[in-house]
Amino acid sequence: MPEQLVFAMEVTLNGLMAGVLYALVALGFVLIYKASGIFNYAQGVMALFAAMTLVGIMQGQVPFSHVINAVFGGHITHFGWNVPGVLAIALTVAVMVLLAWLVQVLVMKHLVGQEPIILFMATIGLAYFLEGVADLMWGSEIKTLDVGLPQGINLWIDEATFNIFGYGFFIDNLDIVATVIAALLVAGLVCFAQYTKQGRAMRAVADDHQAALSVGISLNFIWVLVWSVAGFVALVAGIVWGTKSGVQFSLSLIALKALPVLMLGGFTSIPGAIVGGLIIGVGEKLFEFAIGPMVGGATENWFAYVLALLFLVFRPQGLFGEKIIERV
């Protein structure tokens, strides 16, 4: 088999893995937009906040310790214990549910009926507020996140591909685990939406708020539920990305990677987020592999956005989005 074709196969596999990571972030956007019509700019910061909270709980760090020390004096930083990863994840989920409730009660509840641009601006304010609170709670230094996910080259794939092609593929174990987690997460979300009472209520609210109200569905409860699920998705994305690149404030920028995914897949489609993520992941890797050397490289930084712009021009609703026609 030609050498270039073998390299292209390895690049494609790595692109699929990267696409799954993009899709994980995009899922949080889709859930909130589908249920409430709000484009949640704060989704990336929610992933950062969840990851920082998880690290802080695991390390037994005292929240707001440097603020407490500055006001009252002293050098308190840690409780003196470490929390196991599974328990820390459960506690972080509880924190994200509490955050969802606070967002609904203190912010979104008072903006019902406002224009979409006002709701969007509210989520921008929420993003910067959350980033500041995360800094105050856990500090701004770069943190290492280790919940036991495997990392490094997968030796089985390396050996198997070497025996077949004479060249071992480099596939990261973390990317494989992330793919499995994303598949389980999507399957869980689909089952939740299809087979549970709360999931069906969530779909009803997404279809028609007024009709859902008329049959006794509580919008406040559903929106808290949606923000909670989005918070859980943000936690999963934060764990994977935090394990991969460390928990730091640039983690919130992963939201920018989700934007072209949403443009391709559609803002209202969970399958669209997955397919869009895979297209972006594979497309940017293959483009960098095939065209990058001809134009000086670094095409991964802009390829996804150019592709998304082309979709906006010819199919603005995305591959799986709903085409909305307003009669006048």
The per-residue pLDDT for range 40-96, each reduced to its tens digit, is: 888 889 999 999 999 999 999 989 888 888 888 878 888 888 899 899 999 999 999
Among residues 239, 257, 44, 225, the alpha carbon closest in space to that of 130 is found at 44
Q: What pLDDT, in 10s, does the model give residues 270-323?
A: 888 888 888 998 999 899 988 888 888 788 888 889 998 988 888 887 887 666
The residue ranges of DSSP E strands in 197-287, in sequence order, are none
Among residues 12, 9, 23, the alpha carbon closest in space to that of 183 is found at 23
Q: Is the pLDDT of residue 326 over 60?
A: no
Q: Is the pTM of this model over 0.85?
A: yes
CA 119 – CA 117 distance, rounded (Å): 5
Backbone angles phi, psi at 172, to 5 degrees: -75, 135
Within 10 Å of residue 220's Cβ, how many Cβ atoms? 13
Q: How far is CA 41 from the centre of its chain?
A: 12
For residue 146, what is the DSSP state? -
Read off the tokens for 10.
């390895």
Among residues 61, 63, 57, the alpha carbon closest in space to that of 85 is found at 57
What's the confidence (pLDDT) of residue 204? 81
What's the confidence (pLDDT) of residue 97? 93
Q: What pLDDT, in 10s, does the model give residues 203-213?
A: 787 777 777 77
